[in-house]
Amino acid sequence: MSTVTTTTTTSTTLSADLTNSSSSYIPRGPVEAELTFLSSPEDGSVPFHYVEDPPEGHPKYNYGIVQHKVQIDDIRGYENEYNLDKDAFDTVRNVASATTYLTFDSDEEVQKLYYPEVEQLLLEKVPGAHRVIIFDHTIRRQDPEANRQPVMRAHSDQTDRAAETRVRLHVPDPKDAEEALKGRYRIINVWRPINGAVQSFPLAVASAASVQDSDLMPVEHRYPNRTGETIGVKYNPNLRWKYWSGMSNDERLLLKCSDTKNGVGQRVPHTAFVDPRTPEGAKPRESIEVRALVLG
C-alpha cells in the first residue's frame, strides 16, 4: 500500500517538473480554468453590442461580463463518447491532408486546397449529409498583431435565423434553396490547429446535452447598416466543459452551431481558455476553422 502511495507522489512531482522546465510540454487531463460568460442586461432590455462607435448617449454594450472558474475535462481517450446529435460536437482523428505544406496565408490556396478536404470529411463523417457548402474560414493566431485571435468568451456562432439566411445566400438555385429549407440543415465548423499540437489557448466546448435554452443569450451585433446576431453564454454550473488535449494538425473538431432537427443537441457553446499548466515558452496557438452548411 505504502509503495503505491510513494509511486503516485513521485510521478506527480515528475510531471510538475516537466511542466515548468520543458517548453514542449503539452498539458493533458482535467483542469480548472477561468472562462468568461455574459449576463443579462439588468434592465431586462434586449442584449446588444455596437460593433463600431455607439450612437451618442448609448453604451457600447448593455450586458454584463463575468468570469467563473470551471472544471474542464479532457476527452482524449474518450472520443467515442461524443457525437454531433447528443453533444453538438465530434472528433475526427488521423485525417490525411494534402495541406501539410500550406502556410494558410493565402485565402485562395485555402479555398482551393483545403475546402475540398473539409467538404469530403463532412460528407463522410456527418450522418445523413448529402451536400456540403463551405462559406468561409477564419485563421486565428495567438499574437497581438494577428487579425483574429483566440476567442476568450463563451459563445455559439450562429442563430437559427442566421442559418436560414445562409441557405438562401449560398444555395445558388432558389428552387434548390426552398427544397433545402424544407429538409434538415446544419451549420458545422471544422476546427484544427495549423502549427502542431496545441499547448496554449486550447478550445473548450460544453456538451449540448448539458445546455438549456435559458443558458443562451442572443446578442444583437449592431453595425452601422445592419444588425447581425450571435449567441452569448450565461454561466451555469450544470454546463459540462470539455477540451481535447494537445489537438494536432491531423485532428478535426466538428462544432455544430445550428440544426433544424428537433430533439437533438442544437449547438455547442465554446471558448478558448488560458490553461494554467501552459509552460513558459510554449508555442502560440494557430488554428483554422472552416464554416459549412451541411444539408441532409
| Footprint of ligand OGA (CB under 6 A) | 140, 150-151, 157, 189, 191, 203, 255, 270, 272, 287, 289
Cβ at position 287, least distance to ligand OGA in Å: 5
Return the C-alpha cell found at 201: 489557448
3-state helix, strand, coil in the chain (%, to 5): 25, 30, 45
Q: Say which entry of Fe ion, ligand OGA, none residue 119 contacts (CB below 5 to 8 A, set by partner kind).
A: none
Question: What is the distance of C-alpha 203 from the center of its chain?
Answer: 6
Question: Which of residues 217 and 255 has its CB atom nearest to ligand OGA in the complex?
Answer: 255
**Min CB(176)–Fe ion separation in Å:** 27
Q: Are strands 241-243 and 64-74 parallel, antiparallel or unpaired?
A: parallel
203 binds, among Fe ion, ligand OGA, none (CB under 5 to 8 A by kind): ligand OGA
Q: Using the rule CB under 5 A, which residue among 87, 90, 119, 157 binds Fe ion?
A: 157
Please name the amino acid found at residue 236. N
- From the CB of 151, what's the least distance to Fe ion, in Å? 6
By the rule CB under 5 A, 203 interacts with Fe ion: no
How far apart are CB 257 and ligand OGA at their closest, in Å? 7
Q: Least distance from C-beta 52 to ligand OGA, angstroms?
A: 21
Q: What is the DSSP letter of 257?
A: E
Are 217 and 38 a contacting pair, CB within 8 Å? yes
Which of 19, 138 has the CB closer to Fe ion? 138
Q: Does 162 bind Fe ion (CB under 5 A)?
A: no
CB 233 within 8 Å of CB 206 = yes
C-alpha cell at 61: 454594450
Total number of residues shown for the chain? 296
- 10 Å CB burial of residue 243 (0-12, 13-18, 19+) is buried
Strands 64-74 and 227-233 turn out to be unpaired
Please say which residue, 133 or 233, places its beta carbon nearer to Fe ion: 233
- By a kind-dependent CB cut-off of 5 to 8 A, residue 140 interacts, out of Fe ion, ligand OGA, none, with ligand OGA
Residue 266, binding choice from Fe ion, ligand OGA, none, Cβ under 5 to 8 Å by partner class: none
Interface residue list for Fe ion (CB under 5 A)? 157
